[in-house]
Amino acid sequence: MSNPFENNFQDKAAWQQDGELGRSLGGSASRDDRMDSGRNLDSILRIPVTIQVVLGSATMPVSNLMKLGRGAIVPLDHRVGEPVDVVVNGRVIARGEVVVVEDDNSRFGISLTEIVGPPTSDLAG
């Protein structure tokens, strides 16, 4: 099974089909329906999304913001060693640790440590 975060879209489709969606496509639908669904899934899997890694945030009055200049340090709400949030379309999807990319020591990457599930709505209570 391939890594779903790599840029190989054919591997993504195969990876996805190994999961629940792939099993549901293989149900009672005809072969043509499954092929159309596969093409639709492939089209969806090719949509680019922007991933952001949030190291932390800070709140300050505009007056302090206006005083910032080169060399100023803005303390963030995350501490060294705490997991950072991985955000897609404004939603946290995972958390991880900042690492140096092995192939290129001048770049950072993220080692995922937790996949965040969909938000739950607590209707009871």
Domain coordinates in residue numbering, the chain: 1-48, 49-117
Q: What is the DSSP string of 19-62?
A: SHHHHHHTSS--HHHHHHHHHHHHHHHT----EEEE-------H
* pTM given for the model: 0.56
| Residue 78 confidence (pLDDT) above 80 | yes
| Structural fold of domain 49-117 | Surface presentation of antigens (SPOA) (2.30.330)
| pLDDT, tens digit, 9 for 90 and up, residues 23-35 | 433 445 555 555 6
What contacts 56, CB < 8 A, 6 or more positions away?
76, 77, 78, 84
**Three-state DSSP state, 72:** coil
